[in-house]
Amino acid sequence: MQRAANSMSVIKSPTENSGRVQKFAADRMLGKLAKWLRAMGQDVIYGQHLSGYGLIRAARAENRLILTRDRGLKKKQPPDFLFVESNHYREQLRQVIKACGLNPLVNAFQRCLECNLILQPRSKASVENMVPPYVFSTQENYSWCPKCQRIFWPATHHERMIEELKGLEID
Ligand SMILES: [Zn+2]
């Protein structure tokens, strides 16, 4: 009973904002912001076709929050959107994190930065011939993207990105 009570206390309420994943549609001017949001585990569609009415259609089809720097968009009767104020991705990230109540680290590195798909775990044995030998000999945990089929492992660039995400935490 005691154990059960303790473990219950650490389970997050589903209504808690910090670990939630928001669905976004980022306009084509916001590629760097889109990648950083994906690094945080957020569900972001982004592409050259996503501007103006194309962006509005895509957002409406999947009930996504639009991120845009296009001041003219609001005249086109878009669904919910967030006007991104800054030109710089760090400021953009801060604005989105704050506006949507996101936690930068809780869901970090669960998604392919290129494809936006959730990464799937792979056993070490199954990647032996797919990663460089020095990686295989030093890393234990692997995942892969079912779309681009790239294999991922925790690497130093993740550490740098984590430092950067930590630096964004909002007071
Ligand atoms: Zn991928």
Q: Which residues of 1-37 are buried (b: 16+ CB within 10 A; e: fewer)?
A: eeeeeeeeeeeeeeeeeeebebebbbbbbbeebbbbb
> Ligand 1 centre from 150 Cα, in Å?
6
**Cα(31)–Cα(45) distance, integer angstroms:** 10
Q: What is the pLDDT of residues 79-94, one digit of tens each?
A: 999 999 999 999 999 9
Q: What is the pLDDT of residues 146-158, one digit of tens each?
A: 999 999 988 767 7
> Ligand 1 centre from 80 Cα, in Å?
28
Amino acid at 24: F
Is 170:98 a contact under the CB 8 Å cutoff? yes
Going by the DSSP 8-state scheme, the letter that residue 82 receives in this structure is E
> Ligand 1 centre from 35 Cα, in Å?
12
Give the burial class of 44: count Cβ atoms within 10 A of its Cβ; 0-12 exposed, 13-18 middle, 19 or more buried.
buried
> Ligand 1 centre from 144 Cα, in Å?
8
Q: What is the pLDDT of residues 99-134, one digit of tens each?
A: 999 998 889 889 999 999 999 999 999 999 999 999
Edge to edge, the sheet with strand 142-144 lists: 120-122, 142-144, 151-152
> Ligand 1 centre from 105 Cα, in Å?
20
pTM: 0.82
What three-state secondary structure class fits 147? coil
Confidence band for 4, pLDDT divided at 50, 70 and 90: very low
